[in-house]
Amino acid sequence: MPSALPIADPAPDDGLLPASVVAGAEERRLGVYLHVPFCRVRCGYCDFNTYTGDELRGAKRTDFAGQAIAEVHLADRVLASAGLPRRPASTVFFGGGTPTMLPVSDLAAMLAAVRDTVGIAAGAEVTTEANPDSVDAADLAALAGAGFTRVSFGMQSAVPHVLATLDRTHDPARIPLVVRWAREAGLQVSLDLIYGTPGESLADWRTSLEAAIAERPDHVSAYALIVEDGTALARRIRSGALPAPDDDLQAEQYDLADELLEAAGYRWYEVSNWATSADHRSRHNLAYWTGEDWWGIGPGAHSHVGGVRWWNVKHPAAYGSRIAAGLSPAAGREVLDEESRALERVLLESRLADGMPVSRLGSSGRGEVAGLIADGLIDGRAALAGRVVLTRPGRLLADAVVRRLTPA
């Protein structure tokens, strides 16, 4: 089942934010995330807050768009009540789950609600995730007509036995079709891949990379498989039915991804993300990594505004009940102090190809930079220019680098 929510302070029923969120707001952009928690089947590796039909227990997919729209209106009221300046959303992202399990008319209505309340900036990036078998040409054309600009397909692999281990249901042969249909609709295309699946060889991974590159998407994400406690995959590994992912093989697979993508004209801009140009980077995800503001709509969605972070109740039925009662769906929240915010900036910005200023580090962290250069984990030339930028080996050990840069 989905992972537990964090433990923190209760969130107020009215959702109101402290006055502190106004500081610096003029320099921060606002994004909107809409979490659609429905899936046809649960993938064995998935730990996201998603629900199949038999797990809804009192919730209906047909009610969801109206509930999400009600939270959009709540967000608009709360942001205005906090005294924040009016900031039309620079990015809107529909994630899940599988957002395209809902009719396009529902997704369009939710997007229209954002446009009519918070507002959507000119040239905004508007993305939906989709499974390759959850959309057809007409759906993609309708999404573009509703104002979507980008689609992110969950490709994961081009190798049937790898997809089967992951419990993915689509046929790899469908990828070229959905990419073509998206292109014909005028949408930018991202393909998501996963490496390190039990039983996936380096040759299998090469097959998937080459298949993805052949479609010339604007953007590619490649994530190492993480075996989450409580998932079906974790149970199969624990029983001995599948081997655990091999860290050394995952490192080789990451190196291969970077080599092949770079040779094909893609450039990494975050540890797990590559794009054909700066214009095709995921602006929504960059907002997370650079500490912008975003409001998360839907069950289990997380939000962050001005150093205040909160998260919604998880189950769609509980979410719907709170919305129907006119209450904020938030389950808990925390107000980050300056030390926590600074630590988080190092953790996130160090993952970016643009790096982070050395000046952001404390004195002990700055003292580690020379050793990290010597170990080949930080780019020496960039450090001389005042920025911490990970090398390819450094990207593989990003968490360890951060620990050295932020000693207790």
Rounded average pLDDT over 141-150:
98
Range 120-149 average pLDDT: 98
Strands (E), 114-208: 120-130, 150-156, 188-195
> What's the average model confidence in pLDDT over 397-402?
96
Question: Is residue 278 predicted with pLDDT exceeding 60?
Answer: yes
**d(C-alpha 311, C-alpha 298), whole Å:** 9
State the pLDDT at residue 1: 37
User: Would you say domain 19-289 falls under CATH 3.20.20.70?
Assistant: yes
Q: Which of 71, 73, 97, 112 is nearest to 310 (CA)?
A: 71
Query: Alpha-carbon Rg of the chain, whole angstroms?
Result: 21
Peptide bond between residue 97 and the one before it cis (omega within 30 degrees of 0): yes
CA 170 to the chain's CA centroid: 21
Whole-structure pTM value? 0.96
Q: Give 322-356 pLDDT, tens digit per residue.
A: 999 999 999 999 999 999 999 999 999 999 999 99
Position 176 scores a pLDDT of 98
Residues 179-237 pLDDT 10s: 999 999 999 999 999 999 999 999 999 999 999 999 999 999 999 999 999 999 999 99
d(CA 28, CA 50): 30
Range in 46-55, 135-144, 179-188, 192-201 the model is least confident about:
46-55
The confidence score (pLDDT) of residue 34 equals 98
**Low-confidence winner among 49-63, 135-149, 243-257, 288-302 (lowest mean pLDDT):** 49-63
The pLDDT of residue 5 is 56
Q: What percentage of the chain reaches a pLDDT higher than 90?
A: 95
User: Residue 160 — pLDDT band, cuts 50, 70, 90?
Assistant: very high
Question: Mean pLDDT across the stretch 159-181?
Answer: 97
Which of 1, 22, 5 shows the shortest CA–CA distance to 319?
A: 5
DSSP for 35-50? EE-B-SS--TT--SS-
Domain ranges of the chain: 19-289, 337-408
Instruction: Give pLDDT tens digits for 102-124.
Output: 999 999 999 999 999 999 999 99
At 54 the pLDDT is 83
pLDDT grade, residue 2 (50/70/90)? Answer: very low
Percent of the chain with pLDDT over 70: 98
For residue 324, the model assigns a pLDDT of 98
CB count in 10 Å sphere of residue 142 = 18
Task: Render pLDDT for 78-90 as a digit per residue (tens, 0 to 9).
Answer: 999 999 999 999 9
For 344-390, write each residue's pLDDT tens digit.
Answer: 999 999 999 999 999 999 999 999 999 999 999 999 999 999 999 99
Q: Are 107 and 136 in contact (CB under 8 A)?
A: no
